[in-house]
Amino acid sequence: MGLNRLRAFLGRWRRISVDTNVFIYALEFNPKYAESAYEILKWVQSPGRSAVTSTLTLTELLTRPYSLGQVDRAQGYYELLSKYPHLEWIAPDLEIADLAARFRAQHRMRTPDAIQAATAVQSGAAGLISNDPVFQRVKAFETVVLDDLL
């Protein structure tokens, strides 16, 4: 049932934003969320579809492997994701920083979450997928929380 709801969400949009935890679930083969994460990444690869994420995502993804001394693993993640089809990496600029500050103030979001939300809005993403319900506070896009699909 959860995958059908996820597919319905994905079917409504041509451009989405993907939060860091989706990539973590796929790369680390999380037994609870990997199937959903793979479905999202498969969708991103489809012609006529695209996804965005902040370059902050890469920082969050690579921190654990580097902290464990797993440089090869970190480099593998970087290689895979930096060339992922139809995935656009957006670095925070002044407009994103300003919007993120507004989201922090209005919605009491942590800075990384506010940057992800601002990136989604600035890039024209109509939907955002995460496992963090904080994004539901932002009404500029539709949010799917993976736990809500289980």
Which residues in 1-148 belong to E strands, given as ranges? 15-18, 50-54, 87-90, 127-130, 142-145
Please write the tens of the pLDDT for every residue from 40-61.
999 999 999 999 999 999 999 9
Domain CATH code at residue 99: 3.40.50.1010
pLDDT at 1 over 70: no
Q: Considering the entire predicted model, what is its pTM?
A: 0.93
Number of domains in the chain: 1
Buried/exposed 4-22: b ≥16 CB within 10 Å, e otherwise: eebeebbeebebbbbbbbb
Residue 150 is predicted with a pLDDT of: 84
Range of the domain at 133: 2-149
H helix or E strand, kind and range, residue 25: helix 20-27
Please write the tens of the pLDDT for every residue from 74-131.
999 999 999 999 999 999 999 999 999 999 999 999 999 999 999 999 999 999 999 9
